[in-house]
Amino acid sequence: MWKPTLEPGRPIYRAITDAIARDVENGRLAAGDRLPPQRDLAKALAINLSSVSKAYRLAFDLGLTNGETGRGTFVRGGDPARIPWPSGENNINIDYASNFPIPLDLRTDVLRLCSDMARYDTGQRLLEYAPSGASADDVEAAVSWLRSLGVTALPENVLITSGAINGVFACLLGLTKAGETVLCEDLTSPGLISAARMLGLRLVGIPMDRQGMRIDHFKRIATETGAHVAVLNPTLHNPTLTVLSARRREELAAFVKSSNMILVEDEVYAPLLEALPTPLAALAPAHVCYVTSFSKVMLPGLRIGYLAAPPVLAERLRNAIRVSTWMPSPMLASLASRWVRDGTAARLIQTRRNAGRERIQAACRILRAHKVIAVEEALHVWLLLPPPWRADEFAAYLKQHGITVMPSQDLATASAASMQAVRLSVGAEPNRARFEQGLSRIDRILHGRE
């Protein structure tokens, strides 16, 4: 049985977690190794079971293990801060793991964009540093785009970012310090999990149901942990697709105002919905940093997003963007502004909605015998696995058949570690026939026919 060497001078649970990290690094523990059952380790070390539980939970939070699932705690292996990313694996034929929008033929739009750019009368400005991070024209376009999403902000509080992840990262960088606890939904995007690990933050997940995050649990855990920042994805949540209900939005807004918390509202998917819910930023503007981007709704390569900050935080977040990228590319920001102003942005979103709908419907039809959660405007479906499948084992099995999916373990904080589901993105496979063939294969595997 693996037995940790405990270094003195720190709490026992911390010493156990550190020993796991050390042994992963020095090779004593390898990916897939099973850690001793908590009870056995507590007995072997003559310590309380609760210390071992705390240590195993922290090891999961730090990305060292795949969590306790009733069958054991397994070493994860690899760099815990690495974003799971399937590209570069040459045996993969069909990719449902990458969270990409559906490929569209946008050659005409992009050609027009480039020629507009070449004719842009202040072209020189686009090639220089933008002293305040963005031009007044781009900020004005951002203000109007945010207004169309229900967020009212003054230009001085609106920042241009290099995509949504850059906006979220700037908030973490500007608002938190290593060692702090940050709250999020108990299933969340791998980008947030990795960013938190790199910044030394402890992510604590809040349980959810079909109406989104449970506000009663949020209040309790915020009070218990003393966290002052939460990063949430309330609309078309990645991966559960929930949309936080209107009542919960009101309740959450009232709580963050009374407890003086800051929410980072990551609304990267919201523009896909025709009927938009009220943003938290509209309900508690002094407590919410609203983040959105064009990656999922228009073009990932545009790499432009917008951040509406509470007035007292705007300067700090502007500095965090300077620290991380200095400024987003002025060329791309100006292209995004043009598309916002001339209506191309709104038109492209409508095109995306229509293209996505067809694929979501196909996925629901092919997988109709299984528990599938789907929303027609979204970029993926969420497939709940029947027992005895474990999501990571299912993903590994599919990989042998040349199919990648995103298992819930890669999207989970500790409290969702026992969830067994996979995210199937509908946009990464360009070929429609292959997209359907892969899903039929998944259907057959779940029926035990392969």
Ligand X SMILES: Cc1ncc(COP(=O)(O)O)c(C=O)c1O
Which residues, in sequence order, are CB contacts of 229 under 8 Å at separation 6+?
171, 172, 175, 176, 180, 182, 183, 261, 262, 263, 264
Inter-residue contact 247 to 278 (CB < 8 Å): no
Tell which residue, 443, 167, 181, 444, has the closest CA to residue 324: 167
Task: Compute the least distance from the CB of residue 191 to ligand X, in Å.
Answer: 5
365 CB-contact burial (10 Å; exposed 0-12 / middle 13-18 / buried 19+)? exposed
The DSSP call for residue 239 is T
Task: State how far Cα 33 lies from the chain centre.
Answer: 28
Task: Compute the least distance from the CB of residue 38 to ligand X, in Å.
Answer: 33
**Which lies closer to ligand X via its Cβ, residue 239 or residue 438?**
239
**Which lies closer to ligand X via its Cβ, residue 253 or residue 268?**
268
**Which lies closer to ligand X via its Cβ, residue 15 or residue 168?**
168
How many residues touch ligand X under the rule CB under 6 A: the total is 14
**Which lies closer to ligand X via its Cβ, residue 266 or residue 377?**
266
**Which lies closer to ligand X via its Cβ, residue 73 or residue 99?**
99
Cα–Cα distance between 163 and 161 in angstroms, integer?
A: 6
- Token pair 């500007």 is at which residue? 174
Cα–Cα distance between 4 and 41 in angstroms, integer?
A: 9
Cα–Cα distance between 99 and 301 in angstroms, integer?
A: 14
**Which lies closer to ligand X via its Cβ, residue 165 or residue 307?**
165
Task: Compute the least distance from the CB of residue 443 to ligand X, in Å.
Answer: 25
Question: Is there binding between residue 243 and ligand X (CB under 6 A)?
Answer: no
Which one among 66, 293, 404, 408 touches ligand X, defined by CB under 6 A? 293
Question: Is there binding between residue 138 and ligand X (CB under 6 A)?
Answer: no
**Which lies closer to ligand X via its Cβ, residue 268 or residue 385?**
268
Using alpha carbons, list the distances in angstroms from residue 54 to 4, 12, 25, 142, 321: 15, 10, 21, 44, 35
Residue type for position 12: I
Question: Is there binding between residue 295 and ligand X (CB under 6 A)?
Answer: yes
Which one among 66, 157, 181, 238 touches ligand X, defined by CB under 6 A? 238
**Which lies closer to ligand X via its Cβ, residue 415 or residue 425?**
425
Task: Compute the least distance from the CB of residue 268 to ligand X, in Å.
Answer: 4
When computed from its CA atoms, the radius of gyration of the chain, rounded to whole angstroms, is 23
Task: Compute the least distance from the CB of residue 144 to ligand X, in Å.
Answer: 19
**Which lies closer to ligand X via its Cβ, residue 233 or residue 337?**
233
Question: Is there binding between residue 240 and ligand X (CB under 6 A)?
Answer: no
Which window, 1-9, 152-160, 293-301, 403-411, contacts ligand X (CB under 6 A)?
293-301
**Which lies closer to ligand X via its Cβ, residue 66 or residue 425?**
425
Which one among 61, 180, 185, 266 touches ligand X, defined by CB under 6 A? 266
Inter-residue contact 411 to 424 (CB < 8 Å): no
Cα–Cα distance between 292 and 222 in angstroms, integer?
A: 25
Question: Is there binding between residue 235 and ligand X (CB under 6 A)?
Answer: no
What is the pattern of x (binds ligand X, CB under 6 A) and - over residues 303-322? Answer: --x-----------------
Which residues, in sequence order, are CB contacts of 124 under 8 Å at separation 6+?
none
Task: Compute the least distance from the CB of residue 302 to ligand X, in Å.
Answer: 9
Question: Is there binding between residue 268 and ligand X (CB under 6 A)?
Answer: yes
Tell which residue, 194, 266, 192, has the closest CA to residue 235: 266
Task: Compute the least distance from the CB of residue 217 to ligand X, in Å.
Answer: 20
Which window, 22-30, 210-218, 292-300, 352-360, contacts ligand X (CB under 6 A)?
292-300
User: Which residue is closest to ligand X by CB?
Assistant: 163
Cis peptide before 103 (omega within 30 of 0): no
Q: Considering only residues 154-213, where is the footprint of ligand X by CB under 6 A?
A: 163-165, 189, 191
Task: Compute the least distance from the CB of residue 22 to ligand X, in Å.
Answer: 32
Taking residue 148's Cβ as centre, other Cβ atoms within 10 Å add up to 12
Task: Compute the least distance from the CB of residue 300 to ligand X, in Å.
Answer: 6
Q: Considering only residues 56-115, where is the footprint of ligand X by CB under 6 A?
A: 99
Question: Is there binding between residue 231 and ligand X (CB under 6 A)?
Answer: no
How many CA within 13 A on the CB side of residue 248? 20
Give rounded-to-5 percent helix, strand, coil for the chain.
Answer: 45, 15, 40
Which residues, in sequence order, are CB contacts of 37 under 8 Å at separation 6+?
72
Question: Is there binding between residue 285 and ligand X (CB under 6 A)?
Answer: no
Site residues for ligand X per CB under 6 A = 99, 163-165, 189, 191, 233, 238, 266, 268, 293, 295, 300, 305
